[in-house]
Amino acid sequence: MKKTASDMIKHHDLNGKVFLVTGAYSGLGAITTQVLLKAKAKVIIASRNAKTQADFAQGLIDDKDILFDPQQLDASHTLDLGDLASVRDFAHYVKGAYDQIDGLINNAGVMYTPPGKTKDGFEMQMGVNVIGHFLLSKILAEITRRQIWLSSKGHTRLGAPRINLDQITKVDNGDYNPRLRYQQSKLGNILLAKQFGEEYPHLKAVSVHPGMVSTNLGRNISFVQKLTFILTNPLMVMNMKQPEEGAATQVMVAIMPESELTNGAYYADCRVTEEAESAKNMEDAKKLYDYCNEVTLAYQA
């Protein structure tokens, strides 16, 4: 039996705790938000589409199975991780409104996007998954107690190459490989979790692989590619998790006692798991952190 996010939250009273969930209105983010609200936490949701976010918030309030005080939910602001000005404005709103974030859940993500750049000129997957979350985490670092970075086993794909900073800005349609950029971005998430944990002794930061979960993440994969994957990986497809199961690990690390959480660790299936060698390289972690810091500096003030 696979563990679910609801199993993780059972018997927990999170009254007084504040969590921030990016990409909250779908997939793993939606389940994470629901179970945290059920356990009485305050949840700030940070998604990019204002109407979808408002509808999602209203749906939660109307849901008789969740039963929470609407004051627990802050859906007042939106966040586009592909736009540094939007990240800055959102982060400054949070910093002004809250004294402490008990768990920042860097959950939003894109996968296998076609060649393209964010508003600020970063390759889309690196820009959203890595640079946008870096800026959010950096502005909020002083008031954050715990960071949870959604990574993926995808960081081990293609031989798990080391982080290559050229991949962050260069989008040459001729040799753009969407799988490589996703691998790099999810590797970047692990490295940044490790480095934030080093830079800020008052907080703990971890990364998570949720498993292969049935969500909308694969929206850029064609029907033929999906069919080929199903036919060549039947066991993996049979073991695919539902979002309730996929969100178990991120919920577990968000709420577990601080003394039990391993700073910098990579968690999968609700336990510390070994990451690829390229994800253990602290020189690369520092290099990536410094790069992200430099390119977002103008937005940090």
Ligand X SMILES: NC(=O)c1ccc[n+]([C@@H]2O[C@H](COP(=O)([O-])OP(=O)(O)OC[C@H]3O[C@@H](n4cnc5c(N)ncnc54)[C@H](OP(=O)(O)O)[C@@H]3O)[C@@H](O)[C@H]2O)c1
Q: 29 vs 264, which CB is nearer to ligand X?
A: 29
101 in contact with ligand X (CB under 6 A): no
Length of the chain: 301
CB of 149 to ligand X, least distance (A): 9
- Beta strands per DSSP E along the chain: 18-22, 42-46, 73-74, 103-106, 146-150, 204-209, 266-268, 271-273
296 in contact with ligand X (CB under 6 A): no
Active site residue 200: no
Q: Catalytic pick from 182, 266, 267, 299?
A: 182
44 in contact with ligand X (CB under 6 A): no
Question: What is the rounded distance in angstroms from the CA atom of residue 286 to the CA atom of residue 297?
Answer: 16
Question: What is the rounded distance in angstroms from the CA atom of residue 192 to the CA atom of residue 136?
Answer: 12
User: Which residue in 110, 126, 288, 295 binds ligand X (CB under 6 A)?
Assistant: 110
47 in contact with ligand X (CB under 6 A): yes
53 in contact with ligand X (CB under 6 A): no
User: Which residue in 14, 37, 43, 79 binds ligand X (CB under 6 A)?
Assistant: 79
Structure tokens at 264: 């910098």
Question: What is the rounded distance in angstroms from the CA atom of residue 224 to the CA atom of residue 227?
Answer: 5
**Which residues ranging from 205 to 234 are in contact with ligand X (CB under 6 A)?**
209-210, 212-213, 215-217
CA atoms within 13 A on the CB side of 299: 26
User: Which residue in 4, 107, 167, 207 binds ligand X (CB under 6 A)?
Assistant: 107
Q: Which stretch binds ligand X (CB under 6 A): 44-52, 66-74, 167-175, 199-207?
A: 44-52
Structure tokens at 113: 């996007």
Structure tokens at 155: 């960081």
Q: 197 vs 210, which CB is nearer to ligand X?
A: 210
Q: At what angle do helices 27-38 and 248-255 cross, to 10 degrees?
A: 40
| Count of residues engaged in binding ligand X, rule: CB under 6 A | 29
**Contacts with 256 (C-beta within 8 Å, 6 or more apart), sequence order:** none
Catalytic residues: 182
Residues lying near ligand X in the complex (CB under 6 A): 22-23, 25-29, 47-49, 79-82, 107-111, 128, 150, 152, 209-210, 212-213, 215-217
